[in-house]
Structure 1
Amino acid sequence: MNILFCGDRNVQNGLLIAVLSLLENTQEHFDIYVLTLNMTMNEKIYSPIEASFIDYLNNEVSAQYDDRLYIKLIDTTSLFKGETPDANLSTRFTPCCMLRLFADKIDEIPDRILYLDTDIICRKDFGDFYYQNMEGVELAGVLDYYGSWFFRKNILKRDYLNSGVLLMNMSELRKTGLLSKCRHMCTTKKMFMPDQSALNKLSVSKRICERKYNDQRRLHIDTVFQHFTTHFKFFPYVRTETVKPWQTEEVTTVLRIPETEYKALFDRYYDVKKSIMISDAKKQGKGELYV
């Protein structure tokens, strides 16, 4: 299975949890492509995902899962600088959101690849979703929980996808030029959630899949991918609530997900994270590190 992630160094905790959840719930081999960048924009520094972190996953973690994991880290800084989304630099947009829009310009990216945000946990095997027939289809995904009510191309039906889980048919995308069109739109038109909005507005052949493949609101018994998005709370007052997978205590105390649901995964996450820290400390000549 081919998986695509994007981000800078700040996503490493989420990336680790997501990768472990994939390995725990499917017995297939994973070729994972991680797009990163190294730049400063609007006085904010975006540091690349650490090569040592990826090396540890490829060597130590993969060995613990029958060598079913290989991650390739790809620096997309030059690609991003070549098509900077000028119209959206003052919005909530971050450069990392746009990196997936360069997938068609990266030769290593295979014809079928599943893009995942790094705030997603896999709970079940997703073979049915991944191997669906994509002939003539650019993208397959799930309706955005909130956005699909307000943003739509077809006024008669909801068709606005959440871009956190997207099965991408790269051969079709290269044929239609969708990603190139999206990059251009992001450079010229100011939008709310620009990359997601551009994909929805410009796609000519997208497939809407079942909620369970990108469960954004709450956990269900059939949830395959739980997506930890920001959501609204209305009592005792209207507010937003955001909890990410690496905020492991809040997953239970705030979201009220039973502790047993992700205990094994979170224990594994902390074990691997500790091992990475010890490994890095030894390489830097600091000896044993206690955390």
Structure 2
Amino acid sequence: MNILFCGDSHAQDGVLITTLSLLKNTSEELHLYILTMHLPGFKPFSKKAANFIESLLKQKNTANTLTLIDCTNLFTKQVPLQNMKTRFTPYAMLRLFADQLQQLPDRLLYLDDDIIVRKDISQFYKQDLHNTELVGVLDYWGRFFFHNLHTKKIFDYLNSGVLLLNMPEIKHTQLFSRVRALMQVKKMFFPDQSAINKLATKKKIAPRKYNEQYRLQKNTVIQHFTTSFRFKPYFHTLTVKPWDVERVHSVLHLHEYDDILNEYLKIRHNLYQDN
């Protein structure tokens, strides 16, 4: 099972938590790929953190691997100039260079770093990708506001936090190449997510359980801790990330992942520990 992450040093805690959840719920070999880069004002995902996470993978199965890939040169050659000052860091856009990296496999499951895997994802991962660029779940809020008028489906706006990627098809249609070009010249509210939805024509919509963005459900397989809206006691936005364990308990009143989060709290110092 091939898993793709992107991020700077701030993604390290989230990737660790997601990895722990994958190890708990996956019996197959895991091959993790983390895309990072060096940019002024940011620190890349560290080799130290990558090595520690890989050691956890190999404790479960010696065949498991982790590959940290520096995408600095690729990014600087095609900077998404119009979207460099959005609320999202440039590191989120690194997945758009996946088609330029020969070491990446044909089938990739991209995951944001604020995700916890709750159940076995094999069925989702192994689904047929014939004539498909990517598979995702509708964006919980964006489905109401963003539509592709050239399609017949009213709800077709995918959340990009969980995407099953068919790299040969993406290369064939030049989807990521066209998305990168668009982001150089057009500013968008949700930069790469909006561009992917605008340009992808061979996409499948998966059930909500594979990217639950609002509140834990009985059948949730993957929970995504996105910023959401709440209406009581007054209208407000709510953001709680998995690594903020105290707020996961006090604000979300969620204890579903206590075994994973307790393990994370015990070992997280290894991400930053000096040699």
1:247 to 238, 244, 248: 244
Residue of structure 1 in register with 2:260 after alignment: 265
Q: Does structure 1 retain, via aligned residues, the 8 Å contact 2:52–2:270?
A: no
* Cα offsets for 1:66-108 (capped at 9, x unmatched): 3253110001111111111111223324211110000000001
2:175 to 174, 178, 197: 178
SS of match in other structure, 2:136: strand
Residue of structure 2 in register with 1:58 after alignment: 54
Partners of 2:195 and 2:267 lie apart in 1 by 37
Q: Does structure 2 retain, via aligned residues, the 8 Å contact 1:54–1:73?
A: yes
Instruction: Tell me how far 1:178 sits from its aligned partner.
Output: 0.1
Residue of structure 1 in register with 2:197 after alignment: 200
SS of match in other structure, 2:33: strand
2:45 to 49, 57, 68: 49
CA RMSD in angstroms comes to: 1.3
**Structure number, greater radius of gyration:** 1
Q: Does structure 2 retain, via aligned residues, the 8 Å contact 1:111–1:171?
A: yes
Instruction: Tell me how far 1:213 sits from its aligned partner.
Output: 0.2
Q: Give the direction of change, closer, same or farther, for the CA distance of 1:55–1:149 in structure 2 (3 Å limit).
A: same
2:108 pairs with 1:113: yes
Matches for 1:79-118 after TM superposition, within 5 Å: 79-118=74-113
Partners of 2:224 and 2:142 lie apart in 1 by 15
Residue of structure 2 in register with 1:24 after alignment: 24
2:94 pairs with 1:137: no
Partners of 1:22 and 1:39 lie apart in 2 by 29
Residue of structure 2 in register with 1:168 after alignment: 165
Q: Does structure 2 retain, via aligned residues, the 8 Å contact 1:28–1:68?
A: no
Partners of 1:52 and 1:29 lie apart in 2 by 22
Q: Does structure 2 retain, via aligned residues, the 8 Å contact 1:58–1:71?
A: yes
Partners of 1:22 and 1:156 lie apart in 2 by 33
Q: Which runs of 5+ in 1 are unaligned?
A: 284-291
Give the residue type in structure 1 aligned to 2:48. S
Give the residue type in structure 2 aligned to 1:110. P
Give the residue type in structure 2 aligned to 1:12. Q
Give the residue type in structure 2 aligned to 1:27. S
Residue of structure 1 in register with 2:7 after alignment: 7
Task: Report % sequence identity.
Answer: 48
Q: Does structure 1 retain, via aligned residues, the 8 Å contact 2:49–2:270?
A: no
Q: Give the direction of change, closer, same or farther, for the CA distance of 1:63–1:156 in structure 2 (3 Å limit).
A: closer
Q: Extract structure 1 runs of 4+ deviating beyond 4 A.
A: none
Matched residues, number:
273
